Every structure is written in structure tokens, then in C-alpha cells.
A and B are shown apart, each in its own frame.
Chain A
Amino acid sequence: SAVISQKPSRDICQRGTSLTIQCQVDSQVTMMFWYRQQPGQSLTLIATANQGSEATYESGFVIDKFPISRPNLTFSTLTVSNMSPEDSSIYLCSVEGDRGGEQFFGPGTRLTVL
């Protein structure tokens, strides 16, 4: 299994600002994923990030709001832009396992927007 770290672990931000979340993996992986978990809700996939190509966004998520970078095979960032209180969530990154489709998740970034 992969070991995944995220920074920051939590943050409190003001409306209208942006926050960049970092995801670091201890091994090289082809695909990384970003999820959002709103308070009391399940996880929703935001986008899939492959190294060397544009991220693929799920319905309801757009690049202008959630720009993603994937500069190498062990690192990715997700930016939450022009934040509003509705963006208050836990944001998680994940990577594929060796086989079987399972994913390994980072500890999450808890974002509160005032």
C-alpha cells in the first residue's frame, strides 16, 4: 500500500481567497484522484489527475474553481479558488492500489471557509 500525506491538515480561510492543497505519495503512481467530503456527507470524486495531461473533472466540478497540477508521479495539488462557505469540506487525495481497483487515501484536509 502507498503512504500518502496531505498539507495542510486543516485551515480556516476567508471568503474570496484561494487555498492550495498538496498531496505527496511515497511511490510513483500513474493516477491520483481528488475527492470532496462535505459535512455529514459521503465522498464525491472531483477529478482524476494523470501526470503529463490535463485533469479530468467530474460533472459539477470545473477547472476554474478547482485547478489541479500533477508535475510528477509522486505529487499533486488541488486549489480551491474564490472560496465561499459552501466549499467548507474535507478534501482527500487518493491513488490506485496495485490491482483490483482499490484506492488508498490520504488523511484529508479539513477546510473551513468563513
Chain B
Amino acid sequence: AQSVTQLDSHVSVSEGTPVLLRCNYSSSYSPSLFWYVQHPNKGLQLLLKYTSAATLVKGINGFEAEFKKSETSFHLTKPSAHMSDAAEYFCVVIINQAGTALIFGKGTTLSVSS
């Protein structure tokens, strides 16, 4: 069965420092993985996606994620945090072959202090 585990419920960083949000996945076949961001009182926005092409995926707003099959991980990183990055981040996996059903991780709240 496919699933994702976000290892941190809350991450706090200072503005200008690196961001690391951790996600491990479980999949019986080559997974499709996504990171979504949810800003307060706003809708979900797709940050980036991995679909078995390049293992290092670049997304919007300077975020990137690396798919590591040996570690079953898909961690989200950004070299330098900005105040506007404060939001809820969800790691997501497709759970069916048709590619239609998403399973969301429990989410990681990113706080950025000045």
C-alpha cells in the first residue's frame, strides 16, 4: 500500500536560513510524489512533483526536492527561507495505478522568524 509520512509536524527557521521538510514514502511500485503548500486562508498550491523523470525536482518559489529510492525519501528543501514561506506543507503520493487518488501526509507547519 502507498503512504507518506511527514517526520516533523512543525519546523521553525530564521529568515535567510535553509529549510528542510522531511517526507518518507511507502509504495509497492514507482511512486508519483508531490509537495503542496497551503497558506493561511488560501487554497492548496502545487509546489513540485516527481513522476520518475529526474530525481532532483525543482519547484516554484525556490523549493526543490530529491527523490531517493534507497532511502524512500522525498525531502523538500530551500536554501534560504523567506517570511512568505510560512505555511502548511503537505507531502502527497498517488495511491492507485490510474493516478487519480491522492494520499496526503499529515502536514508540516513551517514558521519563519525574522
Contact = CB atoms under 8 A, between A and B. Distances in A.
Tell me whether A and B are bound partners.
yes
Interface of A: 31, 33, 41-45, 48, 58, 92, 94, 96-97, 100-108
Interface of B: 32, 34, 36, 42-46, 49, 51, 90, 94, 99-107
A105 B32 contact: no
B102 A45 contact: yes
A57 B84 CA distance: 36
A92 B34 contact: no
Contact of A45 (B42, B43, B51, B101): B101
16 contacts: A33-B100, A42-B105, A42-B107, A43-B44, A44-B104, A45-B101, A97-B46, A100-B32, A101-B99, A101-B102, A102-B49, A104-B46, A105-B44, A105-B45, A106-B43, A108-B43
